[in-house]
A and B are shown apart, each in its own frame.
Chain A
Amino acid sequence: MEEYQLVVTGDEMIDPESGYSGPGTIYIKDGSFFKIEKKKLSQEQSKGLSNVPRLIDATGMIVGPGLIDMHVHLREPGREDEETILTGAEAAAAGGFTSICCMPNTTPPLDNYGIINFVVERARSAKVRVYPIGAITQGQKGEIIAEIGDLVEAGAVAISDDGYPVMNSGVMRNAMEYTRMFDIPVISHAEDLGLVGTGVANEGFNSTRFGLPGIPGIAEEVMVARDIMISDFTGCALHLAHLSTAGSISLVKEAKSRKVAVSCEVTPHHFSLTDDLLESYDSNLRVNPPIRTKRDVEALKDGLKEGTVDVIASDHAPHSQEEKEVEFEAAPCGMIGLETTVGLVVTELVEKGIIDWMEFFKKLSLNPATILKLQGGRLQVSAPADLTIIDPQKRWVVDPKKFKSKSKNSPFVGRRLRGKARYTIVAGKVVFEAES
């Protein structure tokens, strides 16, 4: 008799790598997938496994490889009042994520071995896997490239100056050229600060109506185009963070047709919100890049459907209440997202037929794993046993006060969503279980 750690059985098991979707039973032992069967356990078989410490009957639920959020801001070190590595991991687990990648714009930034090591050590006691992303430039100042070799040694899975663009094209070229030898992607926060100016909202008829200084779509597109060209020139893998405009999607599509090594992500808020909502001047809607027009939202959805967009990531950006409770133009940018991502993806994309469950796990698990060369994203024997089990019918109302995240800055308060993680399993351990 095998000593299984955990067994999961259900009608809908999804492996985005092989394309299998159907009944399945997963046997987990010593933190890895030991055996995967393409059939559901019968009543007698279940009884026969009575010695297994935990048997999850996932009838009516969707079982897939653990979700990976490759764009998260944990505020440790520096702003532990807003979020820590541990609280962020709690929030991730509650949101159905088994792995998260944290961006380097902390205080001080993650631009050297010691600090990356600090994150890695801290993350050992976290509920989910936390992978640090290192900075592109020292201090994220955009001038001198960071010790990327050291960062990779310490455990960085990618580099980014997210929060800021690398404005100097020469510096970006050098960074990408240098990084190529480490075989990790450069994640670009594409924004031309000259075109942004004093803007705080998408430049459009709505910013005119609301009297808010505008950020034109080209502020993002100009840098997307530039970074694609530099990636093509240097041969370095480029991943474009939080794309928000129709123009950006077109540029990526064109680049992919020429086989440039580019991938991209969108956030749930960019495909769920439009700029007319700024009428309320709710500072929880202030985000960078800004929420855009209906036309842009449609283009992002098309991009997700067609496959131009590879990843959905939350850009979880916790901010303290006193910082956000100010007039719109004075508020910091960003909203939390770890605990609303699954709900928004199911409600806005899966329920509306834009993507199916196979694509769901590709965008949220397989593709991030592939881009960052992480273990995960696939239901494969001997792979680490990370699973996300989702209740696709679960109706719930967003109430940030109930969230595990330390910060509560979300514009989705009161939104009715469908779809929520029921179980989050990391290395065979149930790290989150929803109350039924």
Chain B
Amino acid sequence: MESDKLIQVMDEVAVARTITRIAHEIIERNGGVGDMVIIGVRTRGAILADRLASEIERIERVALPIGVMDITLYRDDVQNKLEQPLVQKTEILFQVADKIVILVDDVLFTGRTARAALDAIIDFGRPRSIQFAVLIDRGHRELPIRADYIGKSLSTTLEEKVVVKIKEEDGIDGVLLGGR
């Protein structure tokens, strides 16, 4: 329900520039894209991962392997919910062992999704490192998790809603902040 007062914090252009900037940061920090793979967290993280990979390919002329991960089964609250979230397929068709894994998600909030994703990746093998890229970091961490690459930091209250819209899923690109 789109309540009153949703402020647009990022528009389509801003999102695109942010992705470009993050792509450059990743390449710079790792001195290139050797042994690198990208894994996006369903649903919007996976789409962002695709875009990030495209940007990196445009810059470095290298196509990175892209994986999609559904972290539902690794959530720490899965048994408490009365309704089980629908589990979707995880597709990681490459080895993660000894790779630099760029984990991508749309919003970093409590950190629990990220923790679940870390567990899931490590179940696939032992990566050389996992680096975490998010479009929005909204604070309020409940676990000691941090992102390596941040699109935009937003200071929010717990009551506020952060809505990320991605064209392939929602029709437009953008980030909105819902007051109260």
Q: Check A-B contact in the complex, CB < 8 A.
A: no
Residues of A within 8 A of B (CB): none
